[in-house]
Amino acid sequence: MELTTAIPKYNLTDAEEKKEILRHYRGLLRELKPKLKPGDKELLRTAFEMAVNAHKTMRRKSGEPYILHPLSVAKICVEEIGLGIRSTICALLHDTIEDTDITLEDVQDEFGTEIAKIVDGLTKISTVIDTNTSKQAENFKKILLTLTDDPRVILIKLADRLHNMRTLDSMKQEKQLKVSSETVYVYAPLAHRMGLYAIKTEMEDLSMKYLEPDTYRNIAQKLSETKRERSRFINDFIRPLKEKLEKADFHFEIYGRPKSIHSISNKMKKKGVSFEEVYDLFAIRIIVDSSDENEKGDCWKVYSIITDEYNPSPERLRDWLSNPKSNGYEALHTTVMGPQGKWVEVQIRTKRMNEIAEKGLAAHWKYKEDTADESRFDKWFSQIREALGNQDANSIDFLQDFKTSFLAEEIYVYTPKGDVKMLPIGASALDFAFNVHTVVGSRCIGAKVNHKLVPIGYKLRSGDQIEIITSAKQKPHQEWLNMVVTSKAKQKIKDTLKEEKRKIAEEGKYILQKKLEAIGGVMTQHNIEELATFYKLNSSLDLLYEIAIKKIDLKEIKEFTASGDRLFPPKPIKVESDETEINAKSFTKKDTELIIFGESSDRIMYTLANCCKPIPGDDVFGFITAGEGLKIHRTNCPNAARLMSNYGHRVVKTKWAKNKEISFLTGLKIIGLDDVGVIHKITNLISGEMKFNISAMTMEAKEGLFTGNFKIFVHDKEELDELCNRLLMLEGIEKVDRYDTE
């Protein structure tokens, strides 16, 4: 969360601020009044006081007291999402662990495990989400891991993001752009998927306000200018419907609402039309007061009354009564021809359906007896868990797959037996096959859609009935990846292709070994990886596979050098010039105690080997390579034993001279207990106390332990050893190991 010590733009005295904070708190209590049980008020008061004390010295960018942010987030949770007491407490405390002295143990002692777990989930999210845009995909993956533990974590996070968007004006422009693009890319689709349509719409509009300010202002102005004309049209449209519905003894609400600026802008872009040509600038909503058993029938009766008055467009009927969306959305949508030849969208819902449409998942918990919808959510979560379980997926690919698989609009299709399957828009017959079973997907050779034969890449539409045709001889191909959109299908195809590739690569390994033996080379994993880099391939598997399918010609292997030495013994060097002779003389007996950074380094060119990255103070040796002069290796280098045993005549003894002006990059792997503040202690010691520059750091926490990889610039081994010893003295640090940086 961004804080500042700048001069506040918010000018209130201390007494006025206290009144303002209490006013917000009392407003929150009023919203919660219907949900309060004995003892709840005291718990809320405790959480409120804990948050007020924790944030008392903090202010937001606008200058207002920081506590107004958690209070506003809590109010959004209650008023706009429909969450209860426990979620409100979590919302009040959602920033305390990250930004203040309060610990997770304090929260657990005061409020119990359930609340502590949700607050912990929110803390982990906020510590990863706003750090670095390039890591956004990885961060989002972490968010989803917490989402599947307890959906309330993400609902509170959505409320937090919404309030941040509402107060984004006080931020710098680059921050506004970063937060807005993140919101429209990830949070708005997620709000939509959780059934929070109002929040999704507001997030999209607010994002657009910062990302496309001119278009936003233009549409907002035109909506404002046409408001009176629109109101007149809506009243004319509603009047006859109102009379007929009252005559039929319905208790209902009917009103027109403008479409969001973002959706109007999308229509203008998609259809290439101007504002004036967008026909559905608003929708009419009818909310019927209906008993549970009569809901569907009443909605269809209302539909009948509307279509008696106005002609419907048959292809624009959306029946989410028979097949609710997997986020629980139920309604009937139809588009009819209104007065003045204008098309108008009409949405028909009952009060219960409307509450679910407005408050999504939270409203579901209220109607728990509706197990069919409950299981749709469970199904969605289990699919996400399955996708997250695949640790091999590249984070960028994962985020893209997630958006197409889980955040897209859905279609519903039927199995041959009439069972309904939900798939994202854009899904193919092959996606359906993998949805049925991995084996069915892997053996799919075609499909029958509505009894007609179609290819496996056929794009499905809502209402299609599909039968998959399989063959035992079929297996997945690379091009299949372009035919599927679901995460499950993509992953299963990739897994099968990888397995197939491994089998073929075995042949490539045999060919490479023979080739190396023929030229006196050595077959090691390190050399295979170096060769893969030489041929500009991503992995050793790719190298062996391409050798097997004869895509790589190994003639070029003689040009290749690895680890400061060729893959095969060098031919004797002929002395062809005075210069070569001088270089050869440089490595005479008197130079065996070569001092690096001493005077003799002026006479002898050397480089530090990439395979072991030596630093001053390490035990090292020099190795005369055929083409790259002298290379310095650590004596415990992975290649040291081979180089020294095979080519002892080319080894030169070396030692370091002190030079505090040059820094060397080295890596430290730190393992310890995943405790609050441990990262701060480590970075404070490295950068603050010992004044080392940290080039990069990555952290990963799992089951109470964390692993941190730090890349640090040091002058010599002495400094590094002192740093390792001091790190081990820190409480909670179990192990510190040096590793070779890339």
Whether the predicted pLDDT of 473 surpasses 70? yes
| Residue labelled with tokens 């569907």 | 296
Degrees to nearest 5, angle at CA 175 with 174 and 176: 90
Phi, psi of 340 (to 5 degrees): 60, 20
N-terminal to C-terminal alpha carbon distance within the chain = 33
Q: In angstroms, rounded to a whole number, what is the distance separating the alpha carbons of residues 220 and 209? A: 10
Degrees to nearest 5, angle at CA 435 with 432 and 437: 115
Dihedral sign for Cα 140, 145, 146, 150, please.
positive
Q: In angstroms, rounded to a whole number, what is the distance separating the alpha carbons of residues 178 and 167? A: 14
Residue range(s) of every CATH 3.30.70.260 domain in the chain = 664-739
> Is-contact 80 159, C-beta < 8 A?
yes
Q: In angstroms, rounded to a whole number, what is the distance separating the alpha carbons of residues 380 and 368? A: 17
Q: In angstroms, rounded to a whole number, what is the distance separating the alpha carbons of residues 121 and 534? A: 44
Query: Which of 17, 20, 31, 99 does the annotation list as catalytic?
Result: 99
* Whole-number pLDDT of residue 205: 92
> Is-contact 208 216, C-beta < 8 A?
yes
> Is-contact 89 111, C-beta < 8 A?
yes
* Whole-number pLDDT of residue 332: 92
Whether the predicted pLDDT of 601 surpasses 50? no
Half-sphere exposure of 132 (CA within 13 A, CB side): 6
Indicate the range of 265-274, 287-296, 523-532, 674-683 predicted with least confidence: 523-532
Whether the predicted pLDDT of 143 surpasses 80? no
Q: In angstroms, rounded to a whole number, what is the distance separating the alpha carbons of residues 218 and 665? A: 53
Class of domain 664-739: alpha beta
Task: Render the burial of 638-665: b for 16+ CB within 10 Å, e for the rest.
Answer: ebbeebbeeeeebbbebebeeeeeebbb
Which CATH number describes the domain made up of 221-367?
3.30.460.10
Whether the predicted pLDDT of 537 surpasses 70? yes
> Is the full-model pTM beyond 0.85?
no
Mean pLDDT for the stretch of residues 662-674: 83
Indicate the range of 57-66, 114-123, 594-603, 685-694 predicted with least confidence: 594-603
Q: In angstroms, rounded to a whole number, what is the distance separating the alpha carbons of residues 598 and 608? A: 15
Whether the predicted pLDDT of 309 surpasses 60? yes
> Is-contact 299 321, C-beta < 8 A?
yes
Indicate the range of 323-332, 602-611, 703-712 predicted with least confidence: 602-611
Q: Is 581 exposed, middle or buried (0-12, 13-18, 19+ CB in 10 A)?
A: exposed
When pLDDT is cut at 50, 70 and 90, the band that residue 583 belongs to is very low
Residue range(s) of every CATH 3.30.460.10 domain in the chain = 221-367
> Is-contact 374 380, C-beta < 8 A?
no
Q: In angstroms, rounded to a whole number, what is the distance separating the alpha carbons of residues 219 and 204? A: 14
What's at 170, amino acid-wise? S
Taking all residues of the chain, what is their mean pLDDT, rounded to a whole number?
A: 76
Task: Give tens-digit pLDDT for 602-616.
Answer: 456 677 887 777 877
458: which DSSP letter? P
When pLDDT is cut at 50, 70 and 90, the band that residue 348 belongs to is very high
Q: In angstroms, rounded to a whole number, what is the distance separating the alpha carbons of residues 572 and 563? A: 20
Degrees to nearest 5, angle at CA 37 with 34 and 41: 90
Q: How far is CA 578 from the centre of its chain?
A: 61
Mean pLDDT for the stretch of residues 473-482: 86
Whether the predicted pLDDT of 375 surpasses 60? no
Task: Give tens-digit pLDDT for 484-531.
Answer: 988 788 888 888 888 888 888 888 888 887 777 777 676 777 777 777
Mean pLDDT for the stretch of residues 575-595: 37
Indicate the range of 388-397, 403-412, 643-652, 712-721 predicted with least confidence: 388-397
With H, G, I as helix, E, B as strand and everything else as coil, classify residue 193: helix
Q: Which two tokens mark 654?
A: 């070396």
Instruction: Enumerate residues 6+ apart whose C-beta is below 8 A from 471.
Output: 443, 445
Residue 675 region by backbone torsions, left for phi larger than 0, else alpha for psi between -120 and 50, else beta: beta
Indicate the range of 52-66, 69-83, 396-410, 542-556 predicted with least confidence: 396-410
Q: Which two tokens mark 219?
A: 């549409």
Query: What does DSSP say about strands 311-312 and 705-714: parallel, antiparallel, or unpaired?
Result: unpaired
Residue 295 CB: number of other CB atoms within 10 A? 18
Which of the following CATH numbers is that of domain 14-211: 1.20.59.20, 3.30.540.10, 3.40.1400.10, 1.10.3210.10?
1.10.3210.10
Whether the predicted pLDDT of 568 surpasses 70? no
* Whole-number pLDDT of residue 301: 92
Reference 261, options 300, 214, 307; nearest CA is: 214
Q: In angstroms, rounded to a whole number, what is the distance separating the alpha carbons of residues 342 and 273? A: 16
Indicate the range of 19-33, 75-89, 301-315, 618-632 predicted with least confidence: 618-632
When pLDDT is cut at 50, 70 and 90, the band that residue 230 belongs to is confident
Reference 464, options 428, 517, 507; nearest CA is: 428
Query: Which of 17, 20, 31, 98 does the annotation list as catalytic?
Result: 98
Mean pLDDT for the stretch of residues 380-404: 56
* Whole-number pLDDT of residue 152: 79
Q: Output the 3-class SS for 520-553.
A: CCCCCHHHHHHHHHHCCCCCHHHHHHHHHCCCCC
* Whole-number pLDDT of residue 305: 92
When pLDDT is cut at 50, 70 and 90, the band that residue 304 belongs to is very high
* Whole-number pLDDT of residue 374: 45
Give, for 178, the enclosing helix (H) or strand (E).
helix 173-182
CA distances from 258 to 41, 250, 255 (A): 39, 25, 10
Task: Give tens-digit pLDDT for 235-271.
Answer: 889 999 999 999 998 998 998 888 888 888 888 877 7
99 catalytic residue (yes or no): yes
Phi, psi of 557 (to 5 degrees): -60, -25
Reference 689, options 658, 738, 726; nearest CA is: 726
What's at 384, amino acid-wise? I
With H, G, I as helix, E, B as strand and everything else as coil, classify residue 286: strand
